[in-house]
Structure 1
Amino acid sequence: MKCNENIKLVGTKVILVPYEAKHVPKYHEWMKDPELQELTASEPLTIDEEYDMQKSWREDGDKCTFLVLSKEAFEKTQDEIESLIGDTNLFLCDDPEGRKVAEAEIMIADKNYQGQRLGWEAMLLMLDYGVSKLKIEEYIVKIGDSNEKSINMFKKMQFDESARSDVFKEVTMRRIVSNEWCAWLQSQVNYVIEKYER
């Protein structure tokens, strides 16, 4: 999505940056992991397909992605590739009532950074960005039914289960954006939007 190609979101533990071609080799290595493929319902891609995917994320009007950096690691190294730990995405969905609905995703791929609430902060930053900048009115998440950590995380974010598929082994959860929820969301995040320097 073009609207976020020149900005970064700087939080307390994470920094969200646009997905650039320079990030593709590390991202591609992550996505060779069968466990990550299963958790993200992804198929393995060739490196050329991954570059095409990165370009699609940049140019398509219905996709918004940020890569997640460890703020602590970046402040030590000033190296985005070294500090890169995951990604977070929004897919804008067609809605029969004409509302702006987005499917949200979060992945902390680097196992050294899992379980430290970095995914929690990154997802909250993305949800807040979606509401404030993209005017999202409802969020959907689809989670593997065995992924209790993610299900519990979104419950804590006040998402409610709306469907369960035994065929796809998947739970769908939803959150309608309300004034009360936006106030809660903003009480949870502390970040600034800065210009992204390439």
Structure 2
Amino acid sequence: MEQEVEMQQSWRDDDRKCTFIILARDLLHARNTCDDSTQLDIPPPPSDKQVDGICVYPKLVVQTLHAMIGDINLFLSEDDEEVSEYLQNSNNKCQDGSVSNTPAIVQQAELDVMIARPSHRNKGLGAELALIMMHYGASVLKITRFFVKIKDTNASSLRLFRDKLGFSQCAYAECFGEYELERKCKSASEMVKWIENKWTLCGVKRSRLYDLHKCPLS
């Protein structure tokens, strides 16, 4: 239990990790409202209750546990090319050759999507969720490069990122049998435009995506 608490705390406090649990709308209980419309039975916003310094949301977890089908993550890191360019810029160097005010350049993120329930695979959720997470990363975190690492035996993920989303292969680790695919833009705003264009090309309704931005459930 103590190790689990420490792990949860490390993930919570690590500003280089963004993790969202994926909930399936069709598995959430629906209820009829007074105006005869139907709404999802989603618990109210969690309180600030803490246990051992960690916020816990028992009602939210218990009431949505049956609807959890996977997770999606962003792992942030520095873009080596951007750091190298910064270090080579003479304007950033002092007279003694040292570098002044080196920034924490976080402009790239590894994207990881997992749909654990077989019943919810091959329904277009992977593309939809990837685009939502990338839009958040580009518009809020100013990410200019997204990349994925995929085993060469994972045909479905390769089709998703290479064929459907248009990621380009940038590396292959033969010893691990793993491809690295990327999508890179010159600026975060350019990345946002590319993502929004992909929404249409992938046949995803923008209204639904904006709805998921407000309530990150799928």
TM range (shorter): 0.5 to 0.7
Tell me the residue number matched to 2:197.
Answer: 184
* Gap regions ≥5 residues in structure 2: 31-40, 43-62, 84-104
Tell me the residue number matched to 2:174.
Answer: 166
Measured on the aligned residues, the alpha-carbon RMSD in Å equals 2.3
Aligned match for 1:84, one of 60, 68, 88 = 68
Moved more, 47-56 or 124-133: 47-56
Rate the CA distance shift 1:75–1:158 in 2: closer, same or farther, 3 A: farther
Cα distance in 2 between the residues matched to 1:133 and 1:104: 15
- For 1:191, what is the secondary structure of its paired residue? helix
- For 2:15, what is the secondary structure of its paired residue? coil
One-letter amino acid of the counterpart of residue 170, structure 1: E
* Gap regions ≥5 residues in structure 1: 1-46
Contact kept, 8 Å, 1:106 with 1:123, in 2: the verdict is yes
- For 2:75, what is the secondary structure of its paired residue? strand
Cα distance in 1 between the residues matched to 2:161 and 2:18: 19
Contact kept, 8 Å, 1:68 with 1:87, in 2: the verdict is yes
Cα distance in 2 between the residues matched to 1:128 and 1:182: 6
Higher CA-based Rg:
2
Rate the CA distance shift 1:48–1:160 in 2: closer, same or farther, 3 A: farther
Q: Report the TM-score, using the length of structure 2 for normalisation.
A: 0.61
Rate the CA distance shift 1:145–1:49 in 2: closer, same or farther, 3 A: farther
Cα distance in 2 between the residues matched to 1:113 and 1:50: 28
Contact kept, 8 Å, 1:128 with 1:185, in 2: the verdict is no
Rate the CA distance shift 1:51–1:154 in 2: closer, same or farther, 3 A: farther
Is 1:64 the equivalent of 2:18? yes
Q: How does 1:132-147 map to 2 (within 5 A)?
A: 132-147=139-154
Is 1:102 the equivalent of 2:121? no
One-letter amino acid of the counterpart of residue 95, structure 1: D
Q: Deviations over 1:33-79 (max 9, x none)?
A: xxxxxxxxxxxxxx765544333332101111111110121243643
Tell me the residue number matched to 1:5.
Answer: none
Contact kept, 8 Å, 2:134 with 2:195, in 1: the verdict is no
Cα distance in 1 between the residues matched to 2:181 and 2:210: 26
Contact kept, 8 Å, 1:102 with 1:136, in 2: the verdict is yes
Rate the CA distance shift 1:49–1:167 in 2: closer, same or farther, 3 A: farther
Tell me the residue number matched to 1:114.
Answer: 121
Is 1:194 the equivalent of 2:178? no
More strand by share: 1
Aligned match for 2:138, one of 131, 138, 144 = 131
Cα distance in 2 between the residues matched to 1:61 and 1:147: 29
Cα distance in 1 between the residues matched to 2:169 and 2:2: 37
Cα distance in 2 between the residues matched to 1:174 and 1:48: 38
Contact kept, 8 Å, 2:131 with 2:195, in 1: the verdict is no
Task: State the structure with bigger RCO (CA 8 A, min sep 6), 1 or 2.
Answer: 1
One-letter amino acid of the counterpart of residue 194, structure 1: K
Q: Report the TM-score, using the length of structure 1 for normalisation.
A: 0.67
